[in-house]
């Protein structure tokens, strides 16, 4: 059952490092009764704060935040778990008469919320068998091509996480993985307002590079080190997070730190491009093209977002 809010919730979307969180925070501080909901697959993990650009303690004290710090990094947090967490949080927010702003860049998590996607089950025994074949990605991809060519055509053959999940569902459920997402190609009307932030390529690269510089100064490497020194070390899913995977190669395999960081920058840029391709397929999103004028360029986005949730 969908939760009914007093007015349509706002979703602020865009690629990583586009300034979504700062825009959402500005709006929440300017408008009464606004609460922020993270739509980020890695901010759900406790202790992964710096590298995920999670709202800091002061920001969380100033504005109520939701769907962060839901799981231990050793655990595997799934889309269906996120969907369940959203339903619980949405009811609480609506019960207070508040309006949520959903902010983040994890497209599948967003669609699971706003479109109430049907999500496939989990098949641990099948997954264990597939995990044992992880060194043969070409063979696994060929198997997916045979069983579900549509799903295979939608993913990178080297994306082991998506590839294994698609095969797990296809083999475990007996139906193609792509059959669970016919709605992914449809964009029906929803009781949400979608606002996207868009950057040109050069500015996106500059912001990504600058964010890594700040994160390293803030102790990102120490944060990653703490995750592998815990009694229950960081797990398979969480260690794939942008920046974390690369810094782990430095700590665990001896990759020079500058090489690890450059790999992180490159992977993050590629990820940002994939995010934009995902979001730009959605005709429901109103886009704001950010100019090259620095942070002041976000003023238009803040003003537009504020108008969509109502001024004080």
Cβ density class 221-232: b for 16+ within 10 Å, e for less: bebbeebeeeee
Phi, psi (degrees; rounded to nearest 5) at 108: -65, -40
Where in the chain does DSSP place strands (E)?
10-13, 34-38, 65-66, 99-103, 193-198, 285-289
Rounded to a whole number of angstroms, the distance between the first and last alpha carbons of the chain is: 30
**Span(s) in the chain for CATH 1.10.20.140:** 124-180
pLDDT for res 292:
61
Cα(17)–Cα(20) distance, integer angstroms = 8
**Span(s) in the chain for CATH 3.40.50.300:** 10-118+187-309
Q: Ramachandran region of residue 179, left (φ > 0), alpha (ψ -120 to 50) or beta?
A: alpha
Residue 56, SS3? coil
How many Cβ atoms sit within 10 Å of the Cβ of residue 276?
20
CA 242 to chain centre: 11
CATH architecture of the domain covering 10-118+187-309: 3-Layer(aba) Sandwich (3.40)
Q: Which two structure tokens, joined as six digits, stand for 296?
A: 């002041």
pTM for the structure as a whole: 0.84
pLDDT for res 312:
42
Question: Mean pLDDT of residues grouped by 10 in the chain (312 residues)?
Answer: 81 95 95 96 98 96 97 94 95 94 95 88 91 93 95 89 93 90 76 94 94 98 97 94 98 98 98 95 94 71 90 43
124-180 CATH pick, 3.30.1490.100, 1.10.20.140, 3.30.1330.10, 1.10.3210.10: 1.10.20.140
């Amino acid at each position: 059952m969908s939760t009914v809010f007093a007015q349509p919730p706002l979703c602020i979307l865009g690629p990583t490092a586009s300034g979504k969180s700062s825009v959402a925070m500005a709006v929440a501080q300017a408008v009464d009764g606004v609460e922020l909901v993270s739509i980020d697959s890695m901010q759900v993990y406790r202790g992964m704060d710096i590298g995920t650009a999670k709202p800091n303690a002061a920001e969380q004290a100033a504005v109520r935040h939701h769907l962060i710090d839901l799981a231990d990094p050793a655990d595997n947090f799934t889309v269906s778990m996120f969907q369940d967490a959203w339903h619980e949080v949405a009811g609480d927010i609506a019960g207070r008469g508040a309006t949520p702003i959903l902010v983040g860049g994890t497209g599948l998590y967003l669609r699971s919320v706003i479109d109430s996607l049907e999500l496939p089950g989990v098949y641990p025994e099948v997954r264990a068998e597939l995990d044992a074949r992880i060194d043969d990605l070409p063979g696994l991809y060929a198997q997916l091509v045979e069983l579900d060519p549509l799903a295979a055509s939608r993913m990178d053959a080297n994306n082991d996480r998506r590839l294994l999940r698609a095969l797990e569902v296809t083999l475990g459920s007996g139906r193609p993985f792509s059959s669970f997402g016919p709605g992914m190609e449809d964009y029906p009307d929803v009781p949400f307002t979608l606002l996207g932030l868009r950057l040109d390529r050069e500015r996106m690269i500059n912001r990504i590079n600058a964010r890594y510089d700040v994160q390293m100064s803030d102790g990102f490497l120490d944060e990653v080190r703490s995750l592998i020194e815990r009694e229950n070390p960081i797990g398979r899913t969480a260690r794939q997070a942008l920046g974390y995977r690369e810094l782990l190669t430095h700590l665990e395999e001896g990759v020079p730190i500058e090489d690890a960081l450059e790999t992180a920058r490159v992977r993050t840029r590629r990820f940002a491009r994939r995010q934009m391709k995902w979001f730009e397929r959605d005709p429901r999103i109103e886009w704001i093209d950010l100019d090259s004028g620095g942070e002041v360029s976000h003023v238009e986005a803040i003003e537009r977002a504020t108008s969509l949730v109502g001024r004080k």
